[in-house]
Amino acid sequence: MAMIIVAGLCGVLIGYINEYFTWDMLVWKQCGIATIIVLIVEFISGCILNLWLGLNIWSYAGVPFNLLGQICLQFALAWLPLTLVAILLDDLIRWKLFNEEKPRYRWK
């Protein structure tokens, strides 16, 4: 249940990227911001759920370049393409279901 809440929070925060930045921002920059959002949420929730409450939902303690076992470089890099999917899906849903502006992207 906790991970559903964490994932939902990440999704909502990623969705707000276009609320604060223009459509002219390069997609890779949007993915970078989204990845930072995910890492911050993952780190804070990991510190609360795993370290403070002792739920031990995940641990990157054995993975190189980890921070308190809650986030690590390897999985941070994996978030980059996953955030692209989240950005595109959020924009599509907002356009089709909520009649928001049609998505347009700058790839280069």
Q: What is the pLDDT along the chain (108 residues), one digit of tens a residue?
A: 888 999 999 999 999 998 899 889 999 999 999 999 999 999 999 999 999 999 999 999 999 999 999 999 999 999 999 999 999 999 999 999 999 999 999 998
Judge whether 50 lies within some domain: yes
Q: How far apart are CA 4 and CA 101, in angstroms?
A: 28
Cross-strand bridge partners of residue 72? 66
| Contact between 35 and 79 (Cβ < 8 Å) | yes
**Model pLDDT, residue 22:** 87
- Report the pLDDT value the prediction gives residue 18, as an integer from 0 to 100: 84
d(CA 56, CA 58): 5
Q: What is the pLDDT of residue 85?
A: 96
Would the pTM count as exceeding 0.85?
Answer: yes
Per the structure, the complete domain to which residue 51 belongs is given by 22-98
Phi and psi at residue 66, to the nearest 5°: -100, 160
- Number of domains into which the chain is organized: 1
Structural domain includes residue 16 = no
13 lies in some domain: no
